[in-house]
């Protein structure tokens, strides 16, 4: 029995009361579960590596996954002014808040947002894109940091500098310009073994790109294939080129003896033919 505000009593069957309490307990259980299980913004545990000119993705997702298509999602870089790389609000991108350096180069695919994937797609990566990004949504708990490492790779050239003071050896130089981060240069023989070479010279230009060069002295011998390799360990990138060092040339004395023998043989052959 329930007493109303005007003092009257209202009778309700016991079964109805039980059903009423059961449904409301379920409602409050789900409400408590929802409030205690607000999705969190989760980023990658490792830096993202990209090469200049390529497209890349900065990973970020919601855990547990919920539809983020109607949420506000912000990607920012604190070292920029304005700091906004991409802002998604009410189902559209707010271009007026965006840093000009990222115009027409970022996107949040709507199908991914519906699945709780708020990863940022970045097109035509530039060296200036390297840095720390923040992935954030005001309606959710926390924010995620994503570190982007950008690399630049280039081609290599091997040149024959000069003959060594030892006539049985030659000096080779390998040079490559336009790398980032700073790479290392290695010389390898035909079997892939490291060769002992002079110190690598490294120059950093005003564009932050590195030029590396090194020289090595190798012997002239048959099948002497030499490889120059430039590599970046933190971006797992490498480029290499190969050259062949010819063996020793036959001495002039040996050539003269050979020609002399041929001449004598030709003379005997001519006499034999005449007689």
pLDDT digits (tens, 9 = 90+) for 12-71: 554 554 444 444 443 333 333 344 468 899 999 999 999 999 999 999 999 999 999 999
DSSP letters, 17-66, are HHHHHHHHHHHHHHHHHHHHT--EEE--SS-EEEETTS-EEE--EEES--
Mean per-residue pLDDT, 158-163: 81
From CA 52, how far away is CA 150, in angstroms rounded?
Answer: 7
Q: Say how far apart CA 104 and CA 179 lie, in whole Å.
A: 26
Top-confidence residue, 122 or 170: 122
Task: Find the farthest-apart pair of alpha carbons in the chain and give their distance in angstroms, rounded.
Answer: 155
Residue 95 neighbours by CB under 8 Å, 6+ apart: 103
Nearest to 161 by CA among 169, 153, 173: 173
Query: Can you tell me the mean pLDDT for 229-240?
Result: 94
Reference 104, options 113, 112, 93, 114; nearest CA is 93
Query: For residue range 238-262, what is the model confidence (pLDDT) as tens digits?
Result: 999 999 887 765 544 455 455 555 5
CA distances to 67, 70, 71, 106, 140 from 63, in Å = 11, 17, 15, 23, 10
Q: What is the pLDDT of residue 161?
A: 80
Q: Can you give the C-alpha Rg of the chain in angstroms?
A: 37
Give the separation between CA 163 and CA 140, rounded to whole angstroms. Answer: 69
Mind listing the domains of the chain with CATH numbers?
A: 40-150 (2.60.40.10), 157-245 (2.60.40.10)
C-alpha separations of 244 from 95, 152, 171 in Å: 55, 28, 12
232, HSE (Cβ side, Cα atoms, 13 Å): 23
Quote the pLDDT of residue 160: 87
Q: Which range, 112-116, 164-168, 250-254, is most confident? A: 112-116
Give me 47's structure tokens.
């830096």
pLDDT of residue 24: 44
Residues pairing with 116 in the sheet: none
């Amino acid at each position: 029995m329930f007493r109303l505000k005007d003092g009257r009593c209202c009778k309700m069957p016991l079964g109805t009361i039980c059903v009423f309490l059961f449904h409301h307990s379920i409602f409050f259980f789900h409400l408590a579960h929802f409030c205690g299980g607000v999705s969190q913004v989760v980023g990658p545990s490792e830096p993202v590596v990209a090469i200049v000119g390529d497209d890349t993705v900065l990973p970020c997702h919601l855990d547990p996954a919920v539809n983020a298509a109607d949420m506000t999602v912000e990607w920012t870089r604190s070292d920029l002014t304005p700091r906004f790389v991409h802002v998604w609000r009410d189902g559209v991108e707010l271009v007026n808040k965006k840093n000009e350096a990222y115009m027409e180069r970022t996107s949040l695919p709507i199908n991914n947002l519906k699945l709780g994937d708020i990863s940022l797609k970045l097109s035509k990566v530039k060296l200036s894109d390297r840095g720390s990004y923040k992935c954030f949504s005001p309606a959710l708990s926390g924010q995620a940091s994503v570190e982007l490492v950008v690399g630049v790779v280039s081609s290599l050239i091997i040149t024959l500098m000069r003959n060594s003071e030892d006539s049985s050896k030659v000096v080779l130089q390998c040079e490559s310009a336009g790398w980032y981060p700073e790479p290392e240069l290695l010389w390898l023989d035909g079997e892939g073994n490291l060769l002992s070479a002079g110190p690598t010279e490294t120059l950093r230009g005003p564009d932050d790109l590195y030029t590396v060069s090194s020289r090595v002295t190798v012997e002239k011998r048959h099948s002497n294939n030499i490889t120059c390799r430039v590599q970046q360990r933190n971006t797992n990138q490498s480029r290499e080129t190969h050259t062949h060092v010819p063996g020793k040339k036959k001495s002039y004395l040996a050539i003269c003896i050979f020609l002399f023998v041929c001449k004598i043989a030709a003379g005997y052959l001519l006499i034999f033919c005449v007689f």
